[in-house]
Amino acid sequence: MDVIVTHKNADFDAAASAFAAQLLYPGAVPVLPAGLNPNVRQFLSIHKDVFPWKQPREIFWEDVRRLVVVDTNDWKRLDGVKFADGGPGPEVHLWDHHLNPATIEAAWEHSVAVGATTTLFARRLEEEGTPVSPIQATLFLAGIYEDTGNLTFPSTTPVDAQAVAFLLRRKADVEIVNTFLRPAYGPKQKDVLFDMLQAAERTKLNGYTVSVNHCEIRGHVQGLALVVEMYRDIVNVDAAFGIFTEAGRDRAMVIGRSAVDDLDVGSVMRTLGGGGHPGAGSALIKREAAPERIRERLLALVEASQRPAARIGDLMSFPVFTVTDDTPMSEAARILRDKGCTGLPVVRDGVLVGVISRRDFKKFRNNGKKDPPVKAFMSREVRTIAPERSVMHAARVMVKNDIGRLPVLEDGRLIGIVTRSDTMRYYYDLLPD
């Protein structure tokens, strides 16, 4: 007997992977955990005749000869999978897109860093020419779209896009996918979001902004992941976490969302016993500590999980070409032309007092003076940045203030300059390692 299993609190990627695996392992039985995400449960309820499955309590595990594990590589995340201690276990095949250290030792494994596990199955189905019905393609598309944020999460790869193209050719219904991936947002969710915004806090961690918010809910509230996503957008932080507790219950639901790949929410949640990927994750933990202690642990885990990222000090240009504030505009124009710069910091007695750019020369050309000093036309409100800040922070400052360069200051000294072109080259992988 072959059995296909996936992780607790199965999302669309987990469920879609389980049913996609059934096409590659004919006769295998999909076994879904008792805990399914609400939108997954609704989809499968409507499509019961197309996607039948069993629950762990319905399986005689001693009869299982091959166990196909999808969308997780951790035994603790499997629901109700029980084998005799010390006895011969089944042959294990593992399909996963999480590359965290595995606790499942598989006889055969296909683990690749793509946006969704369903992607791996879609590509294999296409390679083998396996027939895929429109209803199956719709479920598989939901699995990829949910885990990649409709192909917008940083973890998205070209392989995910190719898998989506294959499923669309198989008549996947995007309208149905959107219906089930758009969680309900009603009065309960509005109340939770309002409470979170009332107590919003921000914490700086290695150049990133993180918000951890505790909210006590009343009764069951669906769509909390959507609330956290909206909270992150409104508060405008790089990553947000919601700690949700309910009076009289000894458990806390933790949901995280990240907008930057360097803040790996999935890694944090796996440490807490949950799961996810860099952009999103969740965990259900016992209330062994007060919410404030959970908050402190979250912040410590977030800081420890950050991958090494380029800082402005790694990206900036130096030494910096400068002019004094009494330099004639004609001389400044010559320097800009000879150096190929679009702007120059202006200093007085070694202290930064302004910036002169090509844009400022438009005012100079329309002025009747012969050759005034740069201090007559320079921008005096200079936005600067510290060398330890992130490239993302620099890009945001430039966009917000519509400027093309930021002088880099350390202890009040001008040590470099970073430009809009520098940030774009970094984000489009045009810089050498």
Q: Which two tokens stand for residue 233?
A: 């957008």
- As a whole number, the mean pLDDT across the chain is 88
* Top mean-pLDDT range of 242-246, 279-283, 392-396: 242-246
The mean pLDDT of 313-339, rounded to a whole number, is: 88
CA angle 325–328–329, rounded 5-degree value: 100
**Which of 116-130, 293-307, 412-426 has maximum average pLDDT?**
116-130
Say what the pLDDT of residue 365 is: 62
Dist CA 176 CA 33 (whole Å): 24
Q: Is the pLDDT of residue 87 over 70?
A: no
Phi and psi at residue 361, to the nearest 5°: -75, -15
User: Tokens in use for 141?
Assistant: 């598309």
**Quick check: 429 pLDDT over 70?**
no
Distance CA 217, CA 189 (A): 10
Task: Tell me how crowded residue 362 is: count the other CB atoms within 10 A of its CB.
Answer: 11
Query: CA nearest 232: which of 208, 204, 211, 250?
Result: 211
Which residue, 274, 234, 267, is CA-closest to 253? 274
What percentage of the chain carries pLDDT values higher than 70?
Answer: 93
**402: region left, alpha or beta (phi > 0 left; psi from -120 to 50 alpha):** left
pLDDT at 433 over 50: no
List the one residue out of 266, 271, 304 whose CA is nearest residue 285. Answer: 271
Rounded to whole angstroms, the Cα distance separating 60 from 53 reads 15
* pLDDT per residue as tens digits for the range 227-275: 998 999 999 898 999 999 987 777 889 999 998 877 888 889 888 888 8
162 vs 164: CA distance, rounded Å: 5
Alpha-carbon separation of residue 245 from 215, 253, 258, 286, 328 (angstroms):
7, 7, 21, 10, 65
Please write the tens of the pLDDT for every residue from 38-63. Answer: 889 989 988 988 999 999 999 999 89
Give the C-alpha separation, 136 to 19, whole Å: 8
CA distances for 205 relative to 111, 167, 197, 263, angstroms? 31, 40, 20, 10
Alpha helix ranges (H) inside 242-374: 265-271, 291-305, 312-315, 329-339, 360-365
Write out the two tokens for 415.
Answer: 């040590």
CA dihedral 35, 275, 6, 228 (to 10 degrees): 50
pLDDT at 25 over 50: yes
pTM of the predicted structure, to 2 decimals: 0.67
User: Mean pLDDT over residues 368-375, rounded?
Assistant: 78
Instruction: In whole angstroms, give the CA distance from residue 61 to residue 418.
Output: 60
The β-bridge partners of 352 are: 347
- pLDDT at position 309 is 61
CB atoms within 10 A of CB 150: 14
Position 30 pLDDT exceeds 80: yes
Domain 313-427 has CATH 3.40.50.2300: no
Res 288 pLDDT > 70? no
Output the pLDDT for position 97: 93
In this prediction, residue 368 carries a pLDDT of 56
**Ranges of CATH 3.10.580.10 domains, the chain:** 313-427
Most confident segment among 101-115, 201-215, 368-382: 101-115
Task: Say how far apart CA 270 and CA 166 lie, in whole Å.
Answer: 31
pLDDT over 70 at 100, yes or no: yes
CB 190 within 8 A of CB 230: no
Those residues whose C-beta lies under 8 Å from the C-beta of residue 159, and which sit 6 or more positions away, are 112, 114, 119, 123
**What residue ranges of the chain are covered by domains with CATH 3.10.310.30?**
187-305
Q: Is 310 a residue whose pLDDT tops 80?
A: no
The per-residue pLDDT for 432 is: 46
Q: Is domain 2-181 classified as CATH 3.90.1640.10?
A: yes
Q: Regarding predicted confidence, which is higher, 284 or 121?
A: 121
Q: Which residues contact 132 (CB under 8 A, 6 or more apart)?
A: 23, 125, 140, 167, 170
CATH code, residues 187-305: 3.10.310.30
17 neighbors 121 (Cβ within 8 angstroms): yes
Helix (H, G, I), strand (E, B) or coil at 376: helix
